[in-house]
Structure 1
Amino acid sequence: MTSEPVIIIGGGQSGLAAARAALTAGLRPVVLEAGSEPVGSWPDYYDSLTLFSPARYSALPGMPFDGDPDRYPRRDEVTAYLRRYAQTVDVDIRTRSRVTAVRPRRDGGYLVHTDAGDELGAVGVVAASGSFGNPYLPTLPGQDDYAGDLRHVAHYRQPEAYAGKRVVVVGAGNSAVQVAYEIAAHARVTLATREPVRFLPQRLGGRDLHHWLRVTGADRLPRRVLTRLVRHATVLDTGVYRDALASGLLSRRDMFTAFTPDGVSWADGTPEPVDAVIFATGYRPDVAYLKPLGALDHGAPRQVGGISTTHPGLVYLGLEFQRSFASNTLRGVGRDAAHVMTALAAHVSRRPRQRRQRKADVASHLGSGAQR
C-alpha cells in the first residue's frame, strides 16, 4: 500500500465505491466529504424519491440491500444503506471537509485544499463529488421579473406545499414526471417539455426492466453506442404516469418561451398565470475545485471513461454516461470504480521509476557538462 494517500473528493455512493476499490488496488484512500456524514446528497433529495431499479440491482460492491430484493428502495432507505456501507469500508473518512481547490505539485502529485484551511498532499485525486450541488437552471426571457415560486427540483421536497396552486414542471425525464404526478394530487399541474414524453415499460415479461438490462449486457454498453441508441429522455413507467396524462390528471404542453411577471407565455403566445415553476432539467458535474488545474472545459471534466486527459493521477467517478448507462447509479458505479482505480494504481506504481529516471537524467546532464 502506498505511503502517500489518494484523496477521494466526495463521500456519497461514488466516493464509497472508490474507497473500496482503492483498497483492492493497494492504494491508501482518504475520503473528504463536505457533509456531516458519508451519505452524499441522498438526504437532500425530495421526500418521495424512489429508485427505478429494484434492491437486488441497486447495491454497491460487497454489500446487498437487506429485505425484499424486488422492492424499489426509497430515499431514506438508500441513505441508511450508505451509512452502513461506510462503516464496512475501513478507510479514513473525514466529514465536514469541503474541498475548495486542487493544485498540482512539481513532483506530479497534488495539493488538496479544504474550506477549513487544510492542505493535503496526494499521489492521486478522485473527483467523486457528483452533481447535486450544481443543478442546471435554464435562463428564459422575463425570468428575473417572475414573482412566483421558481426553483430547481433539487430544492423541492413535498407536494403538500403546492396545494391549490397552479404549477408547471419543466422536463420530460423520470424526476420531472414523478414530481409532477405527486403534485397533481394537490394542485393543477402541467408538464412543459420540448418533445412528447416517451415511456419505457418498468416490467417486461413479468420481470423488471433491469433484469433484462443485466442479462443482455445493455447496462454495460459503452458511451459511443449509448449516444446512438438513447437520443431522448425516457420515463420508466408501470402505466400509472401514461394513464395520468391520458386521463388529464396531468397535462402536457410545448415548452413556454418566456416568463411574465405572474406566470408564463406558452409557445403559441398565450399567457397564463402560474404560481410555481419547478425545473427538473438535470445537473452538471460539481467539480469547480478543479479549475486551478485547468482540467475542465467550460465546467465539464476533460476525460475519457473517467480517466483525465489532462492530468495523470486524476480520475472521475459518477459522471453521467461515464462508461455506461449505469455509470452514475448505485448499481453501476462499482464497475467504474474498479476501472479507474486500476488505472490510478498503475500510475502510482510508475511514479518512483519516473522520479529515479529524472534524477538519472539530471546526473547524466551534470556529468556531461563537467566533461565539457
Structure 2
Amino acid sequence: MSGPTFHRSRGIGLIELLIALALGLIISAAVMQVFLTSRTTYRMQEAMARVQENGRFAVGYMANDIRMAGYMGCGNLGSITVNDIIDPADVPAGFDFDISQEAVIEGHDAVAAVNGWGAKVGTDVIEIRRAASTGVTLTGNMSADNAQIHVTNNAPGFDAGDALFITDCTTADLFRATTVSNGGGSTINIAHANDLNIDNRLSKPYGEEAEVLAFEYSVFFVRNTGRTTPNGTAIPSLYVETMRAGSGATTEVQELIEGVEDMQLEYGVDTSGNRAANEYRPADEVADWSRVVSIRMNLLMRSTEENVAPASGEASQILTYNGSAVAADGFLRQVFSSVVTVRNRVP
C-alpha cells in the first residue's frame, strides 16, 4: 500500500495572470461606467426638477398679478371712472398713474437693445396696474371732500407719498398721501393736500363704507443677472419692478427666479364684444388694450448648470420655442405655457 502522492505547486501561469488582469479591468470599467451613468442621470434629474420648480413658480407668480389687472376693490373700471387728482409734475420720471381701461395692461413686444428695464433683446415685457388686494375702511364719514381721511388701522403700511385709491363701489378717487399720521389708538389720518396733487378735493366726501387701497404697479421682464456659469455663460432671470404701499410712489426692482431665458406673450383680444378672447395677438398688434381679456404666457426655462444634457448626438435635447429650434448646448430646457384670464374684464 503506497502513501499519497504530493505535487509541488507551480504557481499561476502567465496566461492565467493576463486573463485575470483583463477580467479585472473589464469589471472595473463596467463599475466605473455604471457610476458615471448614474451620476449623469442624477444631475439631469436634479437639473430638470429645478427647471420645473422654477417654471411653475414664475408662471404662478405672474398669473396672480395678471388676473388682478384693473382691480378696484368692490367696483371695477367697467362701471367706475376714477377721478385722478395726482399732480403729473410730481410723478417719478418715466412713470404715470394712468388707471384707465387702456392702461391697466400694457405689453411691449420683442424689446430692443435699449429699453427702460435692461430686458434681454427680443423678449417681451408686460406692465400691470391695479389696486392692492386688501385695504382698510374709514372710521366714519368725511366731513368734507378736502378733509383728512380717517381709517381704522394701517395694516397695509401706507406712507407719505404713496398713491392711494378711495372707493365706495360707485365712485373712486386716486390721490397721493401727503401725510400719514397717527390719529390716536389704531386710527390713521391720511391727508391729500395739493403739494402732490393738482387739487386737495376728492370727487365727494366718502362715508364709512368706503375703503382705502394702495395703488400697485408691476412690470415683468427677463434680463441677465450679471452672474455667469463656471464656463462664463450669462445666467438670465425673471425680474419684476414694483410699486407697493410704503414705497412713497417709487419703484423697486427685484429678481424673482433664475433660469428664465425668454418670455413671449400674446394677448387675448375680444373683437366681438362678448367678453371672451376671439384671437391672440402680440403686443405690437393690439390696437385697443381695453379689449384684452386674457394673456397667453410662454416662458423658456433653462437649467442654471451647463453640461447636464448632451450638446450633440441622438441624445441631445430637441426643442422648439417661438417658432424656432433651440440649439442644444448642454443646458436642459423646458417651455411653460399658460393662459391667464383678466378677472375684472370677464363675466
Q: TM class by shorter-chain length?
A: under 0.3
Higher Rg: 2
Greater relative contact order: 1 or 2 (C-alpha under 8 angstroms, separation 6 or more)? Answer: 1
Say which structure is richer in helix.
Answer: 1
Which structure has greater strand proportion?
A: 2
Structure 1 length-normalised TM: 0.24
